[in-house]
Amino acid sequence: MNVKFTFAFALLLFISVTGFAQLPKISGGGSIGNLVTQFTNAIKPASFLSSWTGAKGNFLSTAGKVKDAVGVGKSIASLAGFIKPELFKQGFNVQNLISTANTVKTMTQATGLLKNLEGGLKPEAFVSGWAGKRSGWLNALNLIK
């Protein structure tokens, strides 16, 4: 019985480690600030209004340090305001997103809003590598509570 138990435990450990190794890697860790920054960097520079040029450095610096829901909401509201209106999908209400972002209280609301912003953008708003990183980013975002 000891041999069966040891074998079963080793098999379970192997399966767990193998499955864990299959999770997509997210550069810079999975903190909410890093995920906001990664998302921002996944948007093509041409997708932003000209005013983004002067605000980008400060935005990325601030967003990278965000650790709470209110900060994420403010980052989302700010970021959405810099994206060219024509790069949002038809029917997506940017002003509603910005209003909601400014009232975020929980991390669940904040991560949901970030997913909403990502889903509201047309595919051409993103850099070509985003499609390959998106599922890993979403998985990491889903882990944040």
Query: For residue 35, what pLDDT is reported?
Result: 95
Query: For residue 74, what pLDDT is reported?
Result: 96
- Reported as type and span, the H/E element at residue 108 is helix 107-120
Q: How far apart are CA 14 and CA 1, in angstroms?
A: 20
Encode the chain (145 residues) as per-residue pLDDT tens digits. Answer: 565 545 445 444 444 443 333 333 334 446 899 999 999 999 999 999 999 999 999 999 999 999 999 999 999 999 999 999 999 999 999 999 999 999 999 999 999 999 999 999 999 999 999 999 999 999 999 998 7
Ramachandran area for residue 48 (φ above 0: left; ψ -120 to 50: alpha; else beta): beta
Q: Model pTM?
A: 0.78
Query: For residue 145, what pLDDT is reported?
Result: 78
Angle value at C-alpha 142, between 104 and 32, nearest 5 degrees: 55
Q: Where are the domains of the chain?
A: 32-143
